[in-house]
Structure 1
Amino acid sequence: MRERIEVNPNIHFGKPCVAGTRITLQSVLELIREGLTFNEIRRDYYPDLQPEDIRACIQYAIDLVTSEDIHITATV
């Protein structure tokens, strides 16, 4: 699934995009946040995307959060 997302410094300043497109992962995730279904995203915004592309955007975001180091400082 990772091959469906690419980072190219020459496209959108290196933001992750769906491979072979200029569609940013952020754009897809924002549509999901707004409650759009995969079918609505494809029909109304990005007809060239496949459901697997949208799933790959979600998985990429999950992978980022999973690998994130969290540093908690104690407060008194």
Structure 2
Amino acid sequence: MQAELKQLVVSNPQVMMGKPVIAGTRITVELILEKLAAGETPEQIIAAHPRLNRESIQAALAFAAVALRADVIYPVVEKAS
């Protein structure tokens, strides 16, 4: 993850129970990912949260990509046919 983007995501036990947030906000990486997964565009997210910008959304995505590289097994429930 680029150094500039890495500095945009922080975690502090005093803020949002330690969840990763965009620096200087209480906007979690989780919220940004949920909104993108629901089909919202970056422009819609920025309009709803003016303290964000495209770079902060990119930082959230980069953080998630790095976090998923960890050696953790994520069980996936298959849909019943």
TM-score bin, normalised by smaller chain: 0.7 to 0.9
- Aligned counterparts of 1:39 and 1:23: Cα–Cα separation in 2: 16
Q: Structure 1 residue runs of 4+, over 6 Å off?
A: none
Count of aligned positions = 70
Root-mean-square deviation (Å) = 1.4
Gaps of 5+ in 2: 74-81
Question: Does residue 1:68 correspond to 2:67, yes or no?
Answer: no
- Aligned counterparts of 2:6 and 2:54: Cα–Cα separation in 1: 14
Question: Does residue 1:37 correspond to 2:41, yes or no?
Answer: yes
Larger Rg, first or second structure (1 or 2): 1
- Aligned counterparts of 1:68 and 1:40: Cα–Cα separation in 2: 34
Counterpart residue number, 1:15: 19
Match of 2:50 among 41, 47, 51: 47
- Over the matched positions of the two proteins, sequence identity in percent amounts to 33
Counterpart residue number, 2:62: 59
Gaps of 5+ in 1: 71-76
- Aligned counterparts of 1:60 and 1:68: Cα–Cα separation in 2: 15
TM-score by length of 2: 0.80
